[in-house]
Amino acid sequence: MIMFRLPTLGICVSGLVLLLGCAPPSRDHGEKTLHLPIVSSGPNSLDPVMGSSQYDSKACSYVYQTLLQYHYLRRPLELKPLLLAAMPQVLGEGTIYRFRLRDDVYFHDDPCFPEGRGRRLVTEDVFYSFKRMADDRNQPKGWWLLKDTVVGLDAYREQQNNAETFDYDAPVEGFRRINDQEFEIHLKQPLYRFMYTLAMFQTSVVPREAVEFYQKKFARHPVGTGPFLLQDWESGSRMTFVRNPQYWPEYYPADPGLREDGTEPYPGYLEDRRLGFYQDADRRLPLVDRVELGMYVNYQPMWLKFRNRELDYTTVPAENYAEAYIKRTRKLRQDYVQQGIRSVPVPLLDLMYYGFNLEDPDFGGYDQQRKCLRQAISCAIDWEERNEVFYNGLNLIYDGPIPPSLDGHPEGHVLPAAYRGPDLGRARRLLARAGYPAGKGLPKLVYYTGRGGRHPEMAEMTKRHVARIGVQLDVRLVDFSTLMDAVRNKRAPFFGFAWGSDYPDAENNLQLFYGPYKSPGSNNFNYDRAEYNRLYERIRVMSPSPQRTELYERMRDMVVEDVPFIGSMGRTRNYLIHDRLQNCKPVEIFHNWTKYLNVDKRQDD
């Protein structure tokens, strides 16, 4: 379920050109400024169709917007309108979605528009943005979201990509314009997850003028409808966003109050009230003037800046957990509480895993020999040691690709048929059955993983785990963009990743193994089983039901047996928040919540 530009030269011109060599802004300029981290070298692109990671999502969400969004404070998650005046009407037994755009939304002021004034959002912008996901020249990472979904869109994609030029004016049967603010999208068949798709950053609405004006530079020059403008981007170091002075009228959530019978309108409402999350109710967004987004490939600089009050929040690095928490009780230490620091544990809908490229000539394939080889490696991995050493034992280890709380997750987190390690005896037997007793004759397994944080130490642990059965690991430590490139281009035989669910339904996890979504799509494993594909095509159009859950379980078990991946481990991310930062209720399944944050300027004195 992841989910990202210019300093000042005399006067800052918002989002126009990349100005370099200016000093970082001071905290003493009288504006309300957020100082936030991003735990990576940042996004690869600010073009939504080119993004796939949570880092891309986080950065894009400052400047771009989608038709729908999630209620910020409500749990469980609920969808609500963003660029729409109301939730879509669902007609035609679930195949026709009728939309009405807000009539007060304007794109950012930018030189791509006549006289530099942003124009109003209209129906054609939505159609154009969706068509961009079909254009192979854009290197779209999210085509899987629309593939086999909209009537006529797949045929349009094939025709236009085979033509000399891609015609964005050519019609798509399923895109039906009513007027500038109203339109319909016709689906091939009912699709439960379609509404979730409309809240994903890849479906953000962009203006055609900006794409054609900036061309290849558009990836670093975003023009959207969002609450912030990109001012500065120092790749791998920091990004600065400033308030969009022409932002359309969007407001902080109103306080719903208790129901007439005295019950909470949603779980956790009274706690949200106690924490002051409704003190800005009904105020116009965004609530701050500026966001300084620092990039941290390594965790320690981020941690030190937070401790020095230079960051408003941080996630807690595993090596600093005992410094901040009493490990036995998992409670925040009193000296942190006295400093006005608040702790928020955020269970993630995610899976940490090792992945195989099923098209690799040595470790891929579907014959029994190759399956036994992958099963043996799976049995050699010690998740418990990894969890204890690197995550203080806080994570949940479970079998299969479906995270806890979702339909299809195994009871008690365990599947008897899984190849969970460490089980070295079984691993050695499976390796011998694969034709490599004690690893003899087996080529080295090339393993790609990130170079940041504690990934090098994790890689050494993995290397030690598999060496116990005779498998040699050739570790390649690379930055995140290189890792993504190696996986998308099928150059990585074995790799380490974490997948955060895009929406709270296991279909999102099961699509990771759907054959037509192979790299450079979301199926990084290049897993392609005809039976699995047929089941996925059934479940993707089903609404929640016992029958759908049964199919989820069949697909889960098939993946567990074939071992295109080894996993899983679900994380709980611990956030520490300084009392300067207000309204902060962290969540990682969506990333547009910076607009709700506020700061207590008294804390800057």
Q: Distance between CA atoms of 185 and 99, rounded to whole angstroms?
A: 8
Residue 449 — very low, low, confident or very high, per pLDDT cuts 50/70/90?
Answer: very high
- Sign of the Cα torsion 115, 120, 121, 122 reads negative
Q: Distance between CA atoms of 137 and 139, rounded to whole angstroms?
A: 5
Write down the pLDDT at residue 583.
98
Q: Is the pLDDT of residue 54 over 90?
A: no
597 forms beta bridges with none
The average pLDDT across 474-480 equals 92
Q: Is the pLDDT of residue 21 over 60?
A: no
Our measurement of the distance from residue 594's CA atom to the centroid of its chain's CA atoms, rounded to an integer in Å, reads: 15
Q: Is the pLDDT of residue 70 over 90?
A: yes
Cβ(403)–Cβ(568) below 8 Å? yes
Q: Distance between CA atoms of 327 and 566, rounded to whole angstroms?
A: 28
Q: Is the pLDDT of residue 336 over 90?
A: yes
Residue 40 — very low, low, confident or very high, per pLDDT cuts 50/70/90?
Answer: confident
- Single out the residue of 161, 182, 156 nearest to residue 171, CA to CA: 156
353 forms beta bridges with 497, 567
The topology (CATH level 3) of 350-570 is Dipeptide-binding Protein; domain 3 (3.10.105)
**Domain limits, the chain:** 65-214, 350-570
Q: Distance between CA atoms of 45 and 286, rounded to whole angstroms?
A: 24
Contact partners, residue 504, CB within 8 Å, separation at least 6: 1, 76, 77, 349, 405, 406, 589
Q: Is beta strand 290-295 parallel, antiparallel or unpaired with respect to 33-38?
A: parallel
Q: Distance between CA atoms of 432 and 438, rounded to whole angstroms?
A: 7
Q: Is the pLDDT of residue 195 over 90?
A: yes
Write down the pLDDT at residue 29.
54
Cβ(257)–Cβ(265) below 8 Å? yes
C-alpha distances in Å from residue 237, one per residue of 24, 477, 481: 11, 20, 14
Q: Distance between CA atoms of 66 and 43, rounded to whole angstroms?
A: 19
- Single out the residue of 167, 95, 165 nearest to residue 127, CA to CA: 167
Other CB atoms closer than 10 Å to residue 21's CB: what's the count?
7
Q: Tabulate helix, strand, coil % of the chain (nearest 5).
A: 35, 20, 50
Q: Look at the block and give the residue holding tokens 């939309």.
A: 99
- Using one digit for the tens of pLDDT, what is the confidence trace for 393-446? 989 999 999 999 899 999 999 999 999 999 999 999 999 999 999 999 999 999
Q: Is the pLDDT of residue 73 over 50?
A: yes
Q: Distance between CA atoms of 128 and 206, rounded to whole angstroms?
A: 8
Q: Is the pLDDT of residue 13 over 50?
A: no
Q: Is beta strand 572-578 parallel, antiparallel or unpaired with respect to 341-347?
A: antiparallel
Same fold, 65-214 and 350-570: no
Residue 18 — very low, low, confident or very high, per pLDDT cuts 50/70/90?
Answer: very low
Q: Which two tokens stand for residue 489?
A: 């281009």
Half-sphere exposure of 516 (CA within 13 A, CB side): 13
270-309: string of b/e by CB count within 10 Å (b at 16+)? eebeebebbebeeeebbbbbbbbbbbbbebeebbebbbeb
Q: Is the pLDDT of residue 293 over 90?
A: yes
- Using one digit for the tens of pLDDT, what is the confidence trace for 302-318? 999 999 999 999 999 98
Write down the pLDDT at residue 605.
61
The average pLDDT across 313-327 equals 94
Residue 496 host element (H or E) = strand 494-500
**Angle at CA 231, nearest 5°, toward 229 and 236?**
115
Q: Picking from 20-24, 129-133, 189-193, which range would have the lowest pLDDT averaged per residue?
A: 20-24
Q: Is the pLDDT of residue 3 over 80?
A: no
The average pLDDT across 366-371 equals 96
Write down the pLDDT at residue 27.
46
CATH 3.40.50.410 fits domain 65-214: no
Other CB atoms closer than 10 Å to residue 375's CB: what's the count?
25
Q: Is the pLDDT of residue 451 over 90?
A: no
Q: Distance between CA atoms of 202 and 48, rounded to whole angstroms?
A: 5
3-class DSSP assignment, residue 498: strand
Phi, psi (5° rounding) for residue 496? -115, 130
Write down the pLDDT at residue 584.
98
How does the average pLDDT of the chain come out, rounded?
92
- pTM of the full predicted structure? 0.83
Write down the pLDDT at residue 298.
86
Q: Distance between CA atoms of 407 and 457, rounded to whole angstroms?
A: 34
Residue 140 — very low, low, confident or very high, per pLDDT cuts 50/70/90?
Answer: very high
Write down the pLDDT at residue 481.
80
Write down the pLDDT at residue 538.
94
Q: Is the pLDDT of residue 245 over 60?
A: yes
Q: Is the pLDDT of residue 341 over 80?
A: yes
Calculate what percentage of the chain has a pLDDT beyond 70: 95
Cβ(146)–Cβ(93) below 8 Å? no
The average pLDDT across 284-301 equals 95
- Using one digit for the tens of pLDDT, what is the confidence trace for 259-272? 999 999 999 999 99
